Amino acid sequence: MTHPLTLTLKIKQDPETLAALEALKENFAEQIQPKIDEALRASKLVHFARVAVIGDNDYIQVITEYDGDHFEYTEFFRRALTPIFAKIFSLADGVPDVQDPTAFFEFSKNANYRTLGLSADGANDMNGNQAGWLFSAYDHAEVRDILGALQAEAAE
């Protein structure tokens, strides 16, 4: 089952934070993007991922579509991307210690915004309610299913 993550953080507007944001933007392609790419590729859980700053440096978003249970893999991503999350979370108020699994779990959960609409595949949100809508062109096939099919096709 595929779930959406729409992690949205309000960026602090003090000069230090805005300078850190500019540094993040500048270094993203060369320093941050490869690390996220490596971790997500190894996970075989994440379909798509992107990081965006919206408004006039008002919010930063981490948006993904991922497989598996909401509560199962948070700790993996914390471990795999600790420095990256530390950088992104430091832009917002109420920053958790990313070394602390419970603090990280709670912060991530609370910063995730439910999508509009209703899931059509039986998915629940993190509160156990019917999840918001997530369109899937391939009936919520998992990353591993898709990779397996592609590999099989390539082998033919």
Which residue is associated with the tokens 């918001």?
A: 132
Of 15-23, 28-36, 48-56, 103-111, which part binds other proteins (CB under 8 A)? 103-111
127 binds other proteins (CB under 8 A): yes
110 binds other proteins (CB under 8 A): no
- Radius of gyration of the chain, Cα coordinates, nearest whole angstrom: 17
At residue 33's C-alpha, the angle toward residues 84 and 50, to 5°, is 90
Of 2-10, 16-24, 102-110, 112-120, which part binds other proteins (CB under 8 A)? 102-110
Other C-beta atoms lying within 10 Å of the C-beta of residue 4: 22
CA distance 145 to 84: 28
Binding site for other proteins (CB under 8 A): 1, 42-45, 68-73, 75-76, 79-80, 96-97, 99-103, 105-106, 121-122, 124, 126-129, 142, 144, 148
